[in-house]
Amino acid sequence: MSPILRLVALASFSVLAACATTPPEESSTAPSTKPGYEAVEDDGFMIEAVEERHLSGGRERTEVAYNGPESAGTIVVDTFARKLYHVQEGGRAMRYSIAVGREGLSFRGSGVIGRKAKWPSWQPTANMVRTRPDLYAEYAGGMAGGLDNPLGARAMYLYRGGRDTMFRIHGTIQNATIGHATSAGCIRLYNQDAIYLFEQVEMGTKVKVRSQEESLELEGPYMDDAWGLAVPETPENAARKETDLVAKAEQEAAEAKAAEEAAAKAAAEQAAYDAMSDEEKAKHDEKLAKAAAKAEALAEKEKAKAEALAAKEKAKAEALAAKEAAAAEKATAKAEKAAAAAEKKRLAACTRKGIEEKDCPPLEAANG
């Protein structure tokens, strides 16, 4: 492939990636997140932070009042409202937002957690391989756990009657899908939430998957907004959806136009490249190679700069922690010294009054 085509492919990929309709971003600043959703290293894998925009609409893990009939310790999955509750004592529950795949809609009723796995392996079903060999054939023998594995950092497997139901509660790196219906998978959580829930539940934990009737009774009706996110079905949300659908259509039209312009530009550049002599192509290729090398060197420089800054911040934090530990140790020693002096004073006061040590009252009484 010529250098022009390689650049065209990269440009086309970025344009097509932008065609995946998502709510428009309001800022171009560096993504921010919320406590509990920061980037975290887990068993050698670096899990990226969940961007704050993917936590909008109340999708972060939250303790809430719980009005369901289930007992404490139960996991309750509502695929219609796309919520998961871990019921606590005192009418409370920890609420998680979930994505629901096609497999997640196939189970209703109750089961128990019959298996738990960290960074689980995954294997597509025979039917998945048969119907979509282009996607799943290469994984027919299984896929090792890792960041690209569709089960994410943790998986909890639902059993009923001692048998695997094929229903899983698991993590995902596709943070934008949480709160949405997806084409595949069971019950997805942010990896950070999957890790948190995994540590809270034990083998044998009861899992209840609500029916639509139960969901309507306890949550009320839900609808998808313009972007496919589950929201309460209210007149306000319905009106907003109509407005957002117009904005979404305009966004998609703009993205389609940008893709067409990029393709036309790429075709023109390729035609110009094809018209070059071999000597001109060689010079052009050399120029592109130099530009690529320069960009790579700049990227490495920025990476080294970021790593140095991170190391500096880490050293600063460690120094502060050491200083605080030393101060705490000094304060403890001072308190122990004061306590010893007070004890000595108490015994001396009793001795002056002719009171034996075993009958010596507390210091305040001894000085009274």
Over residues 186-198, the pLDDT tens digits come to: 899 999 999 999 9
pLDDT at 31: 64
Note if 170 is an active site residue: yes
Q: What is the pLDDT of residues 81-97, one digit of tens each?
A: 999 999 999 999 999 99
pLDDT of residue 320: 86
The pTM of the full predicted model, rounded to 2 decimals, is 0.65
Grade residue 2 by pLDDT with cuts at 50, 70 and 90. very low
Least Cα distance to 76 among 58, 62, 94 occurs for 94
The per-residue pLDDT for 314 is 83
> What are the boundaries of each domain within the chain?
52-226
Q: Is the pLDDT of residue 106 over 80?
A: no
Q: Which of 54, 86, 180, 186 is catalytic?
A: 186
Confidence band for 61, pLDDT divided at 50, 70 and 90 = very high
Task: Please determine, for residue 51, whether its predicted confidence score (pLDDT) is greater than 90.
Answer: yes
Q: What is the pLDDT of residue 183?
A: 67
pLDDT score for 101: 83
Q: Is the pLDDT of residue 22 over 50?
A: no
Residue 224 structure tokens: 């998808």
- Average pLDDT score over the chain: 86
Phi, psi of 191 (to 5 degrees): -55, -40
Would you place residue 364 in the very low, low, confident or very high pLDDT band (cuts 50, 70, 90)? Answer: low
Instruction: Look up residue 174 and give its amino acid.
Output: Q
* The listed CATH number (3.40.225.10, 2.40.440.10, 3.40.640.10, 3.40.220.10) that belongs to domain 52-226: 2.40.440.10
CB-based contact 109:209 (threshold 8 Å):
yes
pLDDT in tens, 303-329: 888 888 888 888 888 888 888 889 998
Query: Which of 109-118, 132-141, 299-308 reaches the highest mean pLDDT?
Result: 109-118
pLDDT digits (tens, 9 = 90+) for 207-240: 999 999 999 999 999 999 999 899 999 999 999 9
pLDDT, residue 4, reads: 40
> Which of 170, 180, 350, 360 is the catalytic position?
170
Across the range 282-305, mean pLDDT stands at 90
284 is known as an active-site residue = no
CA distance 363 to 282: 94
Residue 12: which pLDDT band, with cuts at 50, 70 and 90? very low
Asked whether residue 367 carries a pLDDT value surpassing 60, the answer given is: no
Please report, rounded to a whole number, the percentage of residues in the chain having pLDDT higher than 70: 89
Separation of alpha carbons 206 and 85, rounded Å: 12
Return d(Cα 346, Cα 365) in angstroms, integer: 9
pLDDT at 343: 87
